[in-house]
Every structure is written in C-alpha cells, then in structure tokens.
Chain A
C-alpha cells in the first residue's frame, strides 16, 4: 500500500518522472513466521502436480502422504513459532502489515491444522462404501464432471475412478483459513476468504451418493457465499473511504481519533462515521455469514446435509474456527473503539442465533441437519464469549473453538459409519436402537452429544462454562441467561437422540454400522480423547488459551 501513497508528479501528458531505483523497496517478507501457511500451500501445489503427473493408481497414496506430511509440518511450524514466543512477547505484524503473528493467530492456526489432519483421515477413508467393481472407493464422486446418473458416471465408477483432487482442494482451503485468522488488513481478509471458500464450494459438490443434492448444496453455498462476499467487499470499500487505509491498525487509529494525515483524494469521506458504521456492519455481516449466525445461517442446514459428510465435518469444524478467528480480530483490533455501537447489535445477533439454532433443531429429523442447527446454536454460544470484550472472552472463545471443533468432526465421522443400501442413513428414525445393536458406536456418539449439550466431564461443559463466565464478567448477564435457556432447549434434542439410540427397539430394516479402517477410527478416537481430556482436565488448555489471548496491533 505504501507504494502508492506519494502522489506522482506529472510533467507532461506523455512522460513522468522515473522514480529513482533506490526508492523502490522490496517487500519484507518474514518467511519463517509465515511458514505454516506457506507449507500448506506448497503441499497443495505439490498435490496439483501429483494430479497432473502421476498415474491414476498412484495418486491416492501420494496425495494422502503429501497432505498428512504438509499439514503435520505446518503444525510443527506453528508449534515452533509458539515455542519461540511469537505468540506472546515476540508477537508482531509480518508481511508488510498484511499478516499478524500473535497468540490468537497461532492458537487458531494450530487448531485448524490439527482439525485438518483429522479431516484428511476422514477424506481418505475407503472402507465404508461397498466395493464397486473391485475398487475401494471413498465418499467422493467417481468423476465430478460426469452428469449424475449418466453414462459417463457409470463408466467412471466401473473404471474405479476416484476424485483424488479433494486433497489439494482441502489443502488450499486450509491455507486460506490459516491466512483468514491472521489477516491484518481487510484485503488480505477478503482474499483469504475467497481462497478458502472456493475449494469448499467445489468440495461440497463432490458427493458420491445423492449427487444432485450435493450439487444443489454447492450451488446454494456458492451463490449465497458470493452474495455475502459482495457485502464484505462493499464494507471494505466503505471502511477504506472512512479511514484511508485497509490496514487494521490504521483503521483503529482513525476510529480512535488519532489520524495523522488525511489522504487528499479521500478528504471528503474520511472520518465520516456513517461510512464507518455501515462499512463495519457489512464486514461483520460477511463474517457472520461464515460463522453461520442467524439470520445469515440459512445455507448451513442445506449445505451440511448435501455435502459429503467428511467435507461437512471439516467445514463445520475448521470454517467455524477460522471465521471466529477473523471475527475476533476484526472486533478486538479494528473496532474496539466502536464497541458501544457493535456490542448491542451483536448482543441481538447472539440471542437470536442461540435461540433460533436450538429451537429449530428440536423438530429436525435428519442427523446432519440436526448437527447443522446445533452448530448454529453453538455459534451463538461462542458469540456470547466474543461479546464479553475482555481478555477472558478471547481465551474462552479460543478454548471453545478448540473443544467444539473436535466434537463436531468426531460426530460427523460417526455419521459416516451408519449406512444402509442408499449410503449413509441420516434419517433419525433409522438410528432407533442403534446403541443396542452397536454399543460402541452408540456410546461414542452419545459422548459427542453430551459434549454438545455441555454435560460436565466433557469438553463442551468446560467450554460453555468459560464462555458464559467471561460473558457474565463482561456485563452480559442477560446473554448468559438466554444461553442457559437455549442450552436447556438444546439438551432436549441431543438427549432425545441418545434415548432413541439406547431405549428404542432396533428397526428390522435398520442401517448397519460399517467397520472403518484405521483412518476414520483414529479420527473418532482423537475426537473422543480430546472431548474427555478437555472435559476432565481442562486447566492446561485453558491456561494455554489464556496465554494466547492477546492480539497484536
């Protein structure tokens, strides 16, 4: 941005003064501090090359290997940065002010990477679907470009094709999310948003079964996502008009009234509060869409239901983490001076989100839609922590995100196991008596549901407690009351599923529980382990989140 700051002197119509070479300053890129993102994006590019260069049979193994190594290495880089105090004392803004490297960024990046690693496992699962023409297949379409039900599809299935492109798509999305949580200017924010959204749109369309529904979901997601991106972008433009900059720090300075210089071209608009308020609200809306807050939530159930379940799990967990990370940074870094304006508004959003999610979930009959509404309600709970506007609020939200994402991923992984002839049996009536027929799967799912409901000794309780405590200390007592009421409503439908699984007679034509490979098993096991560890001994992780609770500006 600094390159265009100086007005260029125009000598004539045709010529202009050449800038002296020494005035051009190469951008200073801190590669070390950006390494997590760079590693993931690098792995994604390798994935693309694999698709281009390797024979079909060899791609699956190579992709899986690359993805796991890439994500794991990126996670190691995050740990390295955190150990090197980049989260606390050495927190700084890198890449010419575009990327923040601080506690919340590193914590959320670490969470996203761990979740993604588990998501890679569920993406790679090939034991659940029946063997098609001698080939083990995964949850993704044989050939995405083939018309559903057409000849092309049949041939692709017969040939045993699989869409191994899902791995680089996943990695690109992860790279975008990593930037999203740490974006320190609005343009980077927008670009990161698009970088992680576009692969997700594609992934949503790739279901092997019920492809039409999957494609419909993807189109809806894309349309509405584009719609919200437009709002976001418009909001960015307005904020630029207000502050003369898209950098978080500069905007915050202007909001605080510490503006140093007024850009001549923007002299008319700078400092105009209407621009700030409208622009801020629009940017907020773009982020609330990704979070799935009411009334921007309507894509959630349709997309969660239509997308391939591994993708749903990944989206529900990682997208939520990334979007809340960006939301926190926007509200705590850019708009803290405006909090008396946005707090009441967000208050209202949080209330309708908690109540709306919980109430509508009561009448759902499909497991995936149920979990979608549950994720909306949980978004509302996390918003309560965001509204706390204190350090505990940040820490509580960080902890909650970590806890919630593993529960969600685990729950969707269990959903992939319950199958009948038509693929996954997601209608709740088919889950009757499941806990009796498959006690282990029933028990695991029950643990996840109890964690969703926030029962003590699960991570859900620790998270909810931390968030509500922070909100209460932040003066949002009424919000806590609404939160508890919605938790009670939510507990009803979670426990109803448990009752259904364990206290109903199994149906004769009920679904079977597929025996997964080590991949999904470990994904579920990790989910259970994190849920119980964070529930029984949350102190270490609460402290970790507490240490990571300060943003850099």
Chain B
C-alpha cells in the first residue's frame, strides 16, 4: 500500500509532461487527460485514506523511500515520502478540490485556444503541491515549494498578452522569492544544527537545541510562510494574482497553495513550540494580516480582489491559530480545509458570474443577478453563509474554534488575540454581505450601465478596454461549471459539522500535531454567542449601507481609510518607497562603489602593469652594449646572491 504514495505525485506529473510536451495533437483530448489524472490522484489518495483509517491511530504514518537523491558524505538527501494524518488531510483537499476545479475549467476555459497548456500547468501544480505535503524532509518539501511557485507564476501570467497579467505574475514571483530565501536559509540552519533535513530527526531533536537557534529557524520558516501565504509583510502579490484565470484563483490562490505556509508552520510545530518568541511573531503576523486583509476586502469593487482580501484574512486566522501552538494547530488545519471548500466555491461562483457577465469584475455593475443564475446564487450564498460563520455551517465551527483557542492562549495576549479575531469576524460578515448584496440583490445596474455613463471613469479600467459596451445577458453557466460548485457547496455546509461532531478532526490530527485545550477565561458558550453577535452587527451594517439604499455605479470618493484600502492599504506604495526606491539607492551606491573602488583597483592594476611595461620596455634600447651590461649585472647579482645564501 505504501508503494502507492509516489503515484499521488506521479499521476499529475505524468499529465503535466504529456500535456506540455505532447503538442497540438492533444488539443482535443488534453483537458480530459488532465482531469482524469487529477481524479486518479484523488482515487489513490482515497484508497490510502481508507487504508489509513484501518490502522491504529498512532501507527497511521506511512513511509516510502524512493531513492537517494544527493548522497554526499554527511549530506544525505533522499526522495522519500511520509504520509501521516496531516499530509493525508492535505492530499484529500488538494486532489479533491483540484479535481473539481479541473472539471470546472473544462467549461470555463472552453474557448481558450491554449486550454491544453492550461491543464498541463494545473497538473504540474497538483504534482508540486502534493510533493510539498508528502515529502518526508525539508529539502524535498522545498522542491515542491518551488514547484508550486513556478506553477503559480505560469498560471497567474497565463493570459500573458495582458500586460497586467504578466506584471502580476512577475510580482508574485519576486515577492515569493523573498519568502523562498527564508525557507532555504531555514533549511541550511537545520542542516548545520541537526545535520539532517528529515522531519523525524529534526523535530525530535528540538528539545536538545538552544532556543536561539530554534527561534532563528522559526523566524525564517515564518518568512517563508509569509511569502507563500500572502501574509503581512509579503502580502502584496495576492491581489494582483487575481489576474489569472478564475479556476486558478480558486485552486491555487484560495484553497491550496496559499495555505502551504500554514502547513509549514504546523509541520514544524515542534520547532515553534520550543521557540516562544517565534510563536509570538507568528501570531502577530496572523493577527495583523487578518485585519489587514479584511479591511482591503471591504473596499474593493472587483469581486475577485474582494475575495482575495478575504483569503488573506482567513489565512491570517489560520496562521494565528498555528502560532498558538498545540491549542491551535488542529483548528488551523480544520479552518484550512473548510476554507478550502467555501472559498473555492465562492471563487468558482465569482467565475460563474463573470462568465455570464462578459468578464465584468466590477461589482458595482452587477446587481439582482439571483434571478438569472439561480444555481450560482445558491451555491455562492451557501459559501457566503459558511465564511461569515452562520451557525451550523462549516465556517461557524472552524472559526469559532479559532476564536476560542485565541482566548485560551491566556493572559493579556489571549484577550488581545481573542478580541482581534472577533473583530475580524465582524468585518468578515460586513464585507461578505457587501459582496453578496452588490452581486445578487438590489437594482440591476448592468442593464443600462453601458448607456448611462459610457465615458464615466471606471474603477476597473480593464473592463473599459475590453470594449464591452453592449449590455450583458446574464445566464447560468454550463453543467461542467455548476456541478463542482454544487459539490463544494455541500462541503461548505457540512464539512465543519462533520469534523466537529465528537471532535473527530481533533482526534484525527492529534497524534501528529498534539492538542491542548488551553485555559480560556471565557466559556465556549460565551464565545459562540459573541461570535454570533458580531456576525449580526457586521451583516446589519452592510445591509444598512448596501441593501437599503441604491448603490452608485461609480464608486464614491469615500473616506481616507476607504481610499487607502482601495489601494490595498498602500502596500504597493510602501513597497515602492521602501523597497524599490531603497533598492535603487542601494544598487546605485553599490554600482558607485563598484565603479570607483573595484573597477578602480582592477583598472588601476591594469594601468600600472601597462605603465610598468612601458617603462621596462625602455630598457630594451637595442644597444648590444647595454644588453651586455644587463647580463653582467645579472651575473654579479647571481653570484652575490649565491654567496649570500651560503653566508646566511
């Protein structure tokens, strides 16, 4: 059975190879092949899952050693897999959601002439992501980490004819590099500290290692997680990443890849548990990002960017939970899985709306769409209820647990974190209700948007350039798109309950991550009631603002905060001023040093050699007599030196 583990990766990898190298003759069948292999990977995962359930809960981890990758002296890197409950959770999420999104993409990308290549990239992503989660050592994990980065880059820039997409891909790639450097430094530190990269030995040895080293490793891992999971301060790429096709946003930039940072921190739990300072950094990052993302989500008119802000915020919850230590690991992963369902569903719904609205993304030009796309409305609506934490749905269970865990951290820290998460929940309710109202309720603003203000400045210039002045005809999407949405809606509704009844998920993951109830100052009921209360506040605020009165097609100027939030809370301006300008100054001064000092030394040496050459050359004056003098003098020196050597 353990020999099957490698096939999880092999199947999509094969698909990627065939689709990317196969050429045009695969154009007609390529998408089916890609989908089939993704499904095959899911089936393998399911078989392994059933097998794992049959085992005793402490002996569920499976290992497969494929080959020795780099055996050099004390440096031993293997291609070996470890499939335990944590990896298995990810495998099922990745392959399950991945397969659904493959199916969805068949319809969504139907008219794209590069569909085969798109599926090749998707398969490549699946292979890399699976490698990331089933690797049994950090070095192999790094391979997968870079692989998903590559796939993400390729897919964000899939429509590379659009300069904005090409730029967004480049931005994502560059920002991710910063995080990747963190991971590579962490791996190097691990090798010098523990002499190995394998999870088992590294994580077992944390008890005997100095806290300082562990803190350093932990901070570097956090940097890596920030890059991949779009956490402050490396969050800026995620919003722009929405330039990619919507299925990509759903799969990579909502459900799976961006959660790799949470996986990394949870997997390295032993390191963080022994390094409280690093943990504090993790919760801080999580708390800041969860508010940061939520605020951005409130201000965006682009439906995908609003959802991207929400993703950032929800991953902030997960990172925060993971930073809480054993109190939170399980809930971080649980929220990750439920979020995988409802956020993927929301994105697919958004894609479906765009599909029916001539690729319009500005929510101010939507409105009243529930009549025209009922399935999308219902599935999106269920996803909406799940994310805001409507009691009984998935998000309610998982988010509630995180809020509880935050309070359970104890002390002032616990209060701060708990209140932050509650505030986040309120804002989440607000911005998601806003999205819902703007899109599916109210006046049908798309009807005469084109005629009413053809020259009005648009918040989304891209829509203008697409030349869609004709009135859109909203319609429901084809089955290949709606079926995945329906499946995901089921997940959004029931997954949380399924996991929470009888603490199933806790028991499932506990052998790997450990679990601790913590010491909460508030009772579970109090927390739940507060959560519901803030939910009601958020929804009411949004309804007051967007449900009761008509929504202007052109966004009002708004407050200072709104304007800042529209500009992603000035993240790009900050990066530009601090990093780009600073970097330019740095490189300029380096160039200056290089020119004046390094080149000066080099050129100076060359010039002095040349000058010396010219001077020595003058000794060669062509007169035999002076040559003879030189020889005579040379001989004298030779003799003198020989005698001197003897004398010494």
Contacts and interface: CB of A to CB of B under 8 A. Distances in A.
Interface in B624-648: 624, 626-628, 630-631, 633-635, 637-639, 641-643, 645-646
A362 B611 CA distance: 10
Name the interface size band of chain A: 35 or more
Interface in A206-248: 219-220, 223-224, 227-228, 231
Nearest to A493: B613
A341 B642 contact: yes
B616 A356 contact: yes
B614 interface: yes
B609 interface: yes
B617 interface: yes
A356 B612 CA distance: 10
Contacts of A361: 613
B392 interface: no
A443 interface: no
Interface in A242-279: 273-274, 277-278
B559 interface: no
Contact of A360 (B620, B622, B630, B631): B620
Contacts of B600: none
B630 A359 contact: no
B609 A362 contact: yes
Contacts of B207: none
B454 interface: no
B411 interface: no
Interface residues of B, number: 28
A392 B496 CA distance: 78
A280 B634 contact: no
A461 B261 CA distance: 51
Contacts of B620: 298, 301-302, 360
A359 B613 CA distance: 5
A285 B635 contact: yes
Interface in B511-550: none
Contact of A344 (B624, B631, B641): B641
A223 B631 CA distance: 12
B201 interface: no
B610 interface: yes
A406 interface: no
A360 B613 contact: yes
A228 B631 contact: yes
A106 to B, nearest CB: 31
B614, B622, B638, B641: which has the most chain A beta carbons within 10 Å? Answer: B638
Contact of A224 (B624, B635, B637): B624
A298 B627 contact: yes
A340 interface: yes
A274 B645 CA distance: 12
Given A285-B635, A359-B613, A489-B609, A340 B643 contact: no
A271 to B, nearest CB: 14
Given A360-B613, A360-B616, A296 B646 contact: no
A224 B646 CA distance: 29
Given A341-B645, A344-B641, A344-B645, A281 B613 contact: no
B contact face: mostly helix, strand, loop, or mixed: helix
B635 A362 contact: no
Contacts of B645: 340-342, 344-345
B624 A278 contact: no
Contacts of B614: 363
B648 to A, nearest CB: 9
A340 B644 CA distance: 11
Contacts of B643: 274, 277-278
B613 A277 contact: no
A295 interface: yes
Interface string A277-292: 1101110110001000
A281 B642 contact: yes
B638 A284 contact: yes
A345 B610 contact: no
Nearest to B645: A341
A220 B622 CA distance: 9
A348 B641 contact: yes
Given A360-B613, A360-B616, A299 B638 contact: no
A289 B630 CA distance: 11
Given A295-B631, A295-B634, A298-B631, A223 B624 contact: yes
A295 B636 CA distance: 11
A112 B613 CA distance: 33
Contact of A296 (B616, B626, B631): B631
B628 to A, nearest CB: 5
Given A277-B642, A359-B609, A231 B635 contact: yes
Nearest to B632: A227
Given A220-B624, A227-B628, A363-B610, A273 B646 contact: yes
Given A345-B645, A363-B610, A223 B628 contact: yes
B641 A280 contact: no
A315 B624 CA distance: 19
A228 B635 CA distance: 10
B642 to A, nearest CB: 5
Nearest to B605: A489
A277 B612 contact: no
Given A301-B620, A360-B616, A277 B631 contact: no
Contacts of A364: 617
A361 B620 CA distance: 12
Nearest to A293: B634
B592 to A, nearest CB: 26
A210 to B, nearest CB: 15
Interface string A77-115: 000000000000000000000000000000000000000
A282 B642 CA distance: 11
Contact of A345 (B609, B613, B642): B642
B617 A360 contact: yes
Interface of B: 606, 609-610, 612-614, 616-617, 619-620, 622, 624, 626-628, 630-631, 633-635, 637-639, 641-643, 645-646
26 contacts: A220-B624, A223-B628, A224-B624, A224-B628, A228-B631, A278-B639, A278-B642, A278-B643, A284-B638, A285-B634, A285-B635, A295-B631, A296-B630, A298-B619, A298-B626, A298-B627, A341-B642, A342-B642, A345-B645, A359-B609, A359-B613, A360-B616, A362-B609, A362-B610, A363-B610, A492-B606
Given A356-B616, A492-B606, 5 more contacts: A277-B646, A285-B638, A301-B620, A360-B613, A360-B620
Interface of A: 219-220, 223-224, 227-228, 231, 273-274, 277-278, 280-282, 284-285, 289, 294-296, 298-299, 301-302, 340-342, 344-345, 348-349, 356, 359-364, 489, 492
User: Lowest 10 CB-CB distances: which A-B pairs, in order?
Assistant: A295-B634, A298-B627, A362-B613, A363-B613, A281-B639, A345-B641, A285-B635, A281-B642, A341-B645, A220-B624
